[in-house]
Structure 1
C-alpha cells in the first residue's frame, strides 16, 4: 500500500479506561508499528497528569490540526462526535469509538459531508459486535431479514440518560428497553455502541429496523453478555436461515467496557491504519 495512505501520526481523544489502554500501547509499541502518538485530549486535563507526557497533552481540541495527525481516535463520548467530528475530518481520518452518535441523522450527514469534502475516512470500531463481516456480507447479498442485539449486564454497568436514567430493575432480570436502536442510543449513549455497530453493519435495516434490547441482570456482576440473533429468508424447505451468537465478556464490576472489547479496539486501530483513506463510513 502506498505510504501516504497509511496513517502514521495518531491522536487520541478521551482518556478513560479505553483511552488509557490505547495511549499505553501506542507509547510502548507504536514506533515498532510505524505509529507515532502526537496528542492526547481529555475533557478533564487533570486526568492526564502524571501519565501522559506534557508535550503530548492537547488542551484545546480545536487546535488538533497543529499536531498534523493522520488518524484521530475518539474514545470519549458521543458528544465529541456530535460537536467535533466534522472538524476532526477536516484534518485527519477519524476512528469513531462511540458509534451510537451516528444514530443522530444530522450528525451522520455532517460526517459524510465532511468526509467527502476533505477526502478523509470515517472508520467505526466494531467493539463488542461479533460476526461483523458475516452480517455485512449477508446484508449486501439481500439475505438479511431481521437483526436483534441484546446487551445484558449488572445495573451498575449502565450509564443511562433521559427516561432510562430513572428506570428501576424489577427482580433479578429486567428489560429496560426493547425497540429500534435509533430510539435507544440517545438515552444509553455508552451502552448501545454494539447495537449501533450492528445497525451500521446492516444498512438495509439500519438504526430504525435493527432491534436493540437492554437488560439489567443482577447476576452479571463481572460480565457483559451480548446476544446477536439474525434471520434470513426461507430456503427450499421453508426453513429460515438463522444465526444466534452468545458473547460473554469479562468486565470489572461497574465497568462500561469489557476486557475483550479493549483488545478488539486496539485491533480496530491497527486495522484502519491498513485500509485506504476513502470518503464514507466503514466498519473496522
Structure 2
C-alpha cells in the first residue's frame, strides 16, 4: 500500500454478524491496526465508530453518518478521550480547502450542492424510496443536508462533506439538492455553488464549480471518486493523529 502501510483485515458489509463487532477480530488475532477504514455504510460509523476510536484512528468513507448529531458528538468525545483522529474523506467535493478557508475567515454566506445522476444510481430509503421519476429531470429533494442524509445515505456523501467543510453553516444550513436525470446514464454531475458576504459595493463573492464524473450505469460511486478516496487514504496516513474531525 505504500507509506509503510499494510491491510490487517477486511470486512464486507453483507457478511456482517449481528453484533457488529467484526472489526475487532483483527485485534483478537494479535493485530493492532493504526487506522480503521470504513467504506461500507454510515450505519457502521453510527453503531461502532466511537468504540473503534478506543483502538485506532478512523477514516470515514460515509460522511453522511455525521448528519446524525448524536453520532457526531460521540465521535468527538471518543476522539478526545482516546486521542485518536477522525478523518473524513472528501469524496466528490471539489474545492474543499477553499470552502474551509472562506468559512474560517467569516466570509461564507451560503453553500449549495447539487448531485444529479440517472435514477438507477440512487439507493434511497424512507419516503424518497417511493419517489418515481417519470419526467426527464426531477428534483427529488431540496433542503438542508441533514434532512437528506438519512434517506439517501449513499448518495449524499458529497453534500455531507460540504457541511463538514463549512462548520459555520453545517448540516442545517448547507443546502443539498438531489436530482434524477434520465440523460445521465453513465455520469454523476456535482455542482457546488457558494456565495460570500457582500463587499463594499454590495456585490458578493461567488463561485460555481461543475464536476462531471464518469460512472458505470447504476453505480453509486463515479470512477474519479474512487481515485479521490485513495488519495484521501494516503493523505491521512501522512497526517498527525490528533483528536477531532478532519477532512482529508
Q: Give the TM-score of the pair, scaled to structure 1.
A: 0.83
Corresponding position of 1:26: none
In the TM superposition, residue 45 of structure 1 has moved relative to its aligned partner by 4.0
Q: How far did 1:60 drift? A: 2.5
SS at match of 2:13: coil
For residue 25 of structure 1, what is the aligned residue in structure 2?
Answer: none
More helix by share: 1
What is the alpha-carbon distance in structure 1 between the residues aligned to residue 13 and residue 149 of structure 2? 21
Q: Secondary structure at the match of 2:36?
A: strand
- Check if 1:39 corresponds to 2:9: yes
Does residue 83 of structure 1 match 2:47?
A: yes
Question: After the TM superposition, which residues 54-69 of structure 1 pair with which residues of structure 2 at under 5 Å, given as runs?
Answer: 60-66=22-28, 67-69=31-33
Question: What is the aligned counterpart of 1:178 among 142, 164, 187?
Answer: 142
Which of residues 199, 216, 225 in structure 2 aligns to 1:261?
225
Q: Choose from 232, 237, 242 the match for 2:206.
A: 242
Runs of 4+ in 1 over 6 A off after TM superposition: none
> Separation in 1 of the partners of 2:27 and 2:86?
17
Q: Choose which of 209, 213, 219 in structure 1 pairs with 2:183.
A: 219
Which shifted more, 81-90 or 195-204? 81-90
Equivalences for residues 1-284 of structure 1 within 5 A: 30=1, 32-45=2-15, 60-66=22-28, 67-284=31-248
Structure 1: gaps (5+ residues):
1-29, 47-58
* CA distance in structure 2 between the aligned counterparts of 1:35 and 1:225, rounded to whole angstroms: 33
Find the aligned partners of 2:47 and 2:109 in 1 and give their Cα distance.
34
In structure 2, C-alpha distance between the alignment counterparts of 1:152 and 1:180, rounded to whole Å:
17
Contact 2:111/2:194 (<8 A) preserved: yes
Partner Cα distance (1:170, 1:240) in 2 = 38
Q: Say how many residue pairs are matched.
A: 242
